[in-house]
Structure 1
Amino acid sequence: MGLDQAATKPHEALSAILADDLTLVNDLITARMASRHAPRIPEVTAHLVGAGGKRLRPMLTLAAAKLCGYDGPYHVHLAATVEFIHTATLLHDDVVDESAQRRGRPTANLLWDNKSSVLVGDYLFSRSFQLMTETGSIDVLRILSNASATIAEGEVLQLTAATDLRTDESIYLQVVRGKTAALFSAATEVGGVIADADPEIVQALFDYGDALGIAFQIVDDLLDYQGDTKATGKNVGDDFRERKLTLPVIKAVAKADDAERAFWVKTIEKGKQDEGDLEHALTLLNKHGTLEATRQDALEWAAKAKSAIAHLPEHEIRTLLTDLADYVVARVN
């Protein structure tokens, strides 16, 4: 099931509750992505920012701050910071992955070039640091700067781990925690920190974001093998063609016989892919039940996300965050 096909859409309910703040976030993003000297910066940024993303990560920051009773102005700065970091990583990822499509549209590196994508990504990272320092909080700066470093570390780890059949589920989890969950957990954590919430609440928000981000990425990796291109904006099998060892394949490699392992060595480690190899890969994934096993892992992480905030005071935001964890994995139910 695609996100937009689900009957209940907690991200839309969150968006409605946070509408005024989201407007301020969008206004701030537009203002800070401007450049007097390099018009290509807003051109490239606007292409990606305006591509229909749901603003999930900045919404998490706004929601966490609201849940903790924050009434100051800086949650808007932090939400914009999170979106800038996310957009910068997308620009860099598309260059690294040589991607041609994101959210159903041509990527910036295809429309412009790799140099523009990398440099505009760098600009957005710089803007994000300017924004976070304006809060005057050293804790905020520590959390988001650590997240930025962790994201980069995760991406570099993936460069070597993605095509190495020795990569196991623990290394996969380390990659996912770096490249995806780190920003989710930072987004929720800083919402609590800026509201000066109790440490136990801040930790709960961090744990929620961490588990939600892991579930989100596992689902994304699963959809690469069984998703609807129109719903996901990605071509089925892109991860296979890009020789990425994601969780469904890692599980299949662990159960492979000699002939199957030779197939994975040829297609993933050596990158020698022939017509029909994707179909054979899908046959092996189904043979060993790794798609269903991966789905169960996603459900378990969603359950951990819900459990993390279950003890927080009753609030409509808490309910929607709980629903959001279910919604993320509803894409593969």
Structure 2
Amino acid sequence: RREMSSAGAELRILFSPGCVQLVQEDMVVLGPRVLVTGATGLLGRAVYREFQNSGWVVIGTGYRRARPCLLRCDLTDEDAVRGLLHEYKPDVIVHCAAERRPDVVERHTEAAVNLNVHATSTLAKEAAVCGALLLYISTDYVFDGRNPPYGEDDSPNPLNVYGRSKLEGERETLRHCPGAVVLRVPVLFGEVESVTESAVTSLWLKVQEGTETCTLDHCQQRFPTDARDVAAVCRKLSEKARQDPSIRGIFHFSGKEQMTKYEMAIAIAQAFSLPSNHLIPLTEQPAASALRPVNSQLNCSRLELLNLSVEPRPFTAAITDCLWPFTPDKRWRQTVFH
């Protein structure tokens, strides 16, 4: 892989010449190029695979968790971002990289704003210069949750710093790159490397506690959405927007099942035939450093009318697919089914 350095925007080869040559050959042979930021994260990995499986040449970036055949790039380094786009000349940029944990954003606001706002602004400027389509991933937390469901034209009113930073990222995206696409999504889950990677899959730890009483939020209404479905929407939007310049601006995509954390945990327990008596619904807002909207349901009709949506996977089937590798009999199941 390559590392983008702030020292004169130097590019430093970090992976084998064979891998570099493979990327270069793919760029010529396979067709359109997509740059996926945050390709080491939950959504970024799903987007990377979705485009790769659809015949695109995929260039993925990471930073602290960058791995072989991904590019290590500090997105807060303007020279590094400029050098990256100049070097690889992507047709599409799917910007997944963000600090998405609201409580972390409250505690480390400056670092989060640098990534969620300033890095997004730089990418938007450079995308406009190189003529790339920019698809920016945003959040339902731009809304206050008082009057759902929310359409794309409804006025945002974020309750926490995370929501404000993502809203500002949206504005920077559309200000510097008017042909860009913004895709707002709710809480995500998917194929995880650790169950703690998603607020949804992390409920597995609560379910497995078994004998210890555990209270879970039963106030905030959420719409858990499989990252693989979001990735498919990103690909469809990208393909259509490259052909039709009217595909621009803000879109919403979301799972359709309304569930609290408590209800998700019960569904997980039932899916794996595990006890759930120890799970206790908490009907008052739990203490947290960041306020959350009670119900920020997204109206997704714009995508649906353009036939650019996908039918979300049912929660029980999707969460089982994601969590079974973490069951005690995972080795047996991998042998039988894989």
TM-score between both structures, scaled by the size of structure 1: 0.31
Structure having the larger proportion of residues in helix = 1
Structure having the larger proportion of residues in strand = 2
